[in-house]
Structure 1
Amino acid sequence: MNKDSNVFTFGFAIAMVVVVGTVLAVAAMGLKDRQKANVQQEKMKNILSTIGAMKADGDRSKAKGLFDKHVVEQKVFNAEGEIMEDAPEAFKIDVRKEYKSLPQSKRHYPLYVCEKDGETYYVIPMVGTGLWGPIWGYIALEGDMETIYGTSFDHKGETPGLGAEISQSSFQEQFEGKTIFNQEGKFVSVGVLKSGAEGNKHAVDGITGGTITSKGVDEMIDRTIGTYVPYFKTKKA
């Protein structure tokens, strides 16, 4: 065979594409279970970080054992705040996927009831829209179902130093101790303000230069927690 011919060159190229493609496909299939496990562990770690059971930079391989220890109950609500008895397991619900593909009335709303050091916490997953793409996170409420104990926020493509700051502790720690109901028992959420949140029990300061992302977090919190309010009020009654 003439190795300098066009036929050989094209044939060799096609053979290499087939071989490399096959190797990549086999590798992807082999890693699929590991990748799925990593995603699940990361999700567990984020939930646990809101109640202080894991650090944000903790070893996620320990997440499963801690998750089973601290998450004592999982519930799923519909858009009206009613418990869905026939819903999928809360942990299996992909809130980011549902946010993207389903209208609000058709989405599932998971709730994780956690216990740590004798205290009960309610962890709410949420998803919204930032400047450049989706944002998401978790908020843990204390046993009174109105005081924020901890948060965990992340993003897909927000600008470093600006909107991406939602994933930093300096932003997230502002929420600790804030309350979602006013003195009259009305749901007011926790607003993300451009400035002037100091001393306000229902607001935190937004990110300088990250106005749209801050507004996205504000909307995400208000819309999502609002869904659970009927249940919280029933439990508090």
Structure 2
Amino acid sequence: MDRQGNTYTFLYASVMVIVVAAILAFLAQSLKPMQDKNAAVAKKMDILKSVQIESTAANAEEKYNKYIGENAYVLDINGEKKPGLEAFTVDLAKEVKKGDDERAYPIYECKLDNGQTKYIIPVRGKGLWGPIWGYVSLDDDKNTVFGATFGHKGETPGLGAEITTDMFQKPFTGKKLFDENGQFASIEVVKKGQSQGDLHKVDGISGGTITSVGVGTMLEDCLSGYEKFLKN
């Protein structure tokens, strides 16, 4: 075959594309178990952080098993346990697209060293540029926020991405999900300086209005599905 001809060039390029694609597919498949494990560890670290338990990649699994372990389950909209589902493996990205009655509502019970029980609820919503998510922990009154942690995929550094900082997350502690009449009120994220003294509001991020509003919407949408469980 003429190596200077178009046919040879085309065949050579085609073979190279196939070989490279095969190598990349093999590498992706080989690395997937490690990637899945890393994602699971990161998730456990976030869950623990919501109850103010610091962990590392090296000890997250050990601490998760100590404080939560098998005390995780899935609820339906009526606050009843759904059999056959594991809380940790529920894909919230898929669940939030379903109707309220069809969703699976995972929850984690955390037993702290002082004997207190905290209830951890995962949340997921939309920011400015992509998905946002987090974990909100409640005291054993199932109303008062004990802690909260949030993450994002692609929010703007210095603006919306600030939802991952203590400055934004710590003010959620002590806020209430229900008002004085026992009605679900959620927690609204408002303009800076407007939350003082309000048990159902926290300050948003200056310049990150859309992401801040997204957090508030996410909390109302996700936490409302646990209302019957929390009331009971």
What TM-score do you get using the length of structure 2 for normalisation? 0.91
Partner in structure 2 of residue 62 of structure 1: 59
Partner in structure 1 of residue 17 of structure 2: 17
Partner in structure 2 of residue 144 of structure 1: 141
- The within-5 A match list for 1:72-221 is 72=69, 73-78=71-76, 80-100=77-97, 102-117=98-113, 118-195=115-192, 196-221=194-219
* CA contact 2:51–2:118 (8 Å) conserved in 1: yes
Partner in structure 2 of residue 48 of structure 1: 48
- C-alpha separation in 2, matches of 1:182 and 1:10: 70
* CA contact 1:74–1:112 (8 Å) conserved in 2: yes
* CA contact 1:189–1:222 (8 Å) conserved in 2: yes
Partner in structure 2 of residue 233 of structure 1: 231
Secondary structure of 1:104's counterpart equals: coil
* CA contact 1:75–1:83 (8 Å) conserved in 2: no
Q: Report the Cα offset of residue 32 of structure 1.
A: 1.1
2:110 partner amino acid: C
CA distances 1:154-200 after superposition (whole Å, capped 9, x unpaired) = 11222222222111211011101212223333322221111310222
CA distances 1:60-97 after superposition (whole Å, capped 9, x unpaired) = 2322211111115112112x232233241111101112
* CA contact 2:120–2:136 (8 Å) conserved in 1: yes
1:74 partner amino acid: A
Q: Which runs of 5+ in 2 are unaligned?
A: none
Q: Report the Cα offset of residue 98 of structure 1.
A: 2.1
The alignment covers a number of residue pairs equal to 229
- C-alpha separation in 1, matches of 2:136 and 2:57: 19
- C-alpha separation in 1, matches of 2:205 and 2:178: 24
1:205 partner amino acid: D
1:6 partner amino acid: N
2:75 partner amino acid: F
Partner in structure 1 of residue 32 of structure 2: 32
Q: Report the Cα offset of residue 4 of structure 1.
A: 2.5
What TM-score do you get using the length of structure 1 for normalisation? 0.89
1:145 partner amino acid: K
- C-alpha separation in 1, matches of 2:84 and 2:156: 36
- C-alpha separation in 1, matches of 2:38 and 2:138: 26
CA distances 1:84-139 after superposition (whole Å, capped 9, x unpaired) = 33241111101112224x23331111000011112211000011122222211110
* CA contact 2:73–2:85 (8 Å) conserved in 1: no
Q: Which runs of 5+ in 1 are unaligned?
A: none
Alignment CA distance shift 1:81-1:212 (3 Å): farther
- C-alpha separation in 1, matches of 2:68 and 2:129: 33
